[in-house]
Amino acid sequence: MPAPSRRCDTQNMAEMSALDVIFARRAVRDFTDEVLSESTVRRLIDAAIQAPSAVNVQPWAFVVIQDKALLKSLSDRAEAIMAAGQDFGQFAPEQQHRIEDRSLNIFYNAGTLVLICAKPEGLHPDWDCCFAAQNLMLAAREQGLGTCVIGFSWPTFNDPDVKKDLGIPKSYRVVTPIIVGRPTDFPQSHGRKRPEILAWKTGKVLSEPDAFRE
Ligand X SMILES: Cc1cc2nc3c(=O)[nH]c(=O)nc-3n(C[C@H](O)[C@H](O)[C@H](O)COP(=O)(O)O)c2cc1C
* Interface positions with ligand X (CB under 6 A): 26-27, 29, 148-152
Contact of 44 with 180, CB cutoff 8 Å: yes
Rounded CA separation 36/135 (Å): 18
Contact of 178 with 147, CB cutoff 8 Å: yes
Q: How far is the CB of 91 from ligand X (least distance, A)?
A: 8
Please say which residue, 45 or 130, places its beta carbon nearer to ligand X: 130
Rounded CA separation 212/179 (Å): 40
Please say which residue, 41 or 149, places its beta carbon nearer to ligand X: 149
Q: How far is the CB of 7 from ligand X (least distance, A)?
A: 13
Q: How far is the CB of 173 from ligand X (least distance, A)?
A: 14
Please say which residue, 47 or 110, places its beta carbon nearer to ligand X: 110
Please say which residue, 154 or 172, places its beta carbon nearer to ligand X: 154
Q: How far is the CB of 61 from ligand X (least distance, A)?
A: 19
E strands along the chain, which residues?
A: 2-3, 60-65, 112-118, 146-149, 173-181, 192-193
